[in-house]
């Protein structure tokens, strides 16, 4: 796989963009990713917790451990 197409490289290139993160337990968070490390631990700011696609709670900063992540969806910044 090309270095530019590795998942971690994609996340690092999208720091400061909005993302949606779904966890293995079904929880979903939407916010701005401000930091990501080699273990895919992610720090988000202005995070919103979603249940069935509807906002359930709003947080300032959220730390999500990489081993709990099911997938990360990066929002298109060109919109």
Q: What is the pLDDT of residues 15-69, one digit of tens each?
A: 999 999 999 999 999 999 999 999 999 999 999 999 988 999 999 999 999 999 9
In this structure, is residue 79 part of a structural domain? no
Backbone angles phi, psi at 66, to 5 degrees: -60, -30
Question: Does residue 46 belong to any structural domain of this protein?
Answer: yes
The CATH number covering residue 12 comes to 2.30.30.100
- Number of domains the chain is built from: 1
76: confidence class by pLDDT, cuts 50, 70, 90:
confident
Look at residue 4 in the predicted model and tell me its pLDDT. Answer: 63
pTM of this prediction?
0.87
The pLDDT value given to residue 78: 62
Query: 43 forms bridges with which residues in the sheet?
Result: 35, 63
């Amino acid at each position: 796989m090309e270095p530019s197409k590795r998942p971690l490289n994609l996340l690092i290139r999208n720091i400061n963009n909005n993302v949606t993160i779904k966890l293995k337990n079904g929880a979903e968070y939407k916010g701005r990713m401000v930091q990501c490390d080699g273990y895919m631990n992610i720090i988000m700011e202005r995070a919103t917790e979603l249940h069935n696609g509807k906002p359930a709670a709003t947080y300032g900063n959220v730390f999500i451990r990489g081993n709990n992540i099911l997938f990360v969806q990066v929002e298109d910044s060109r919109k």
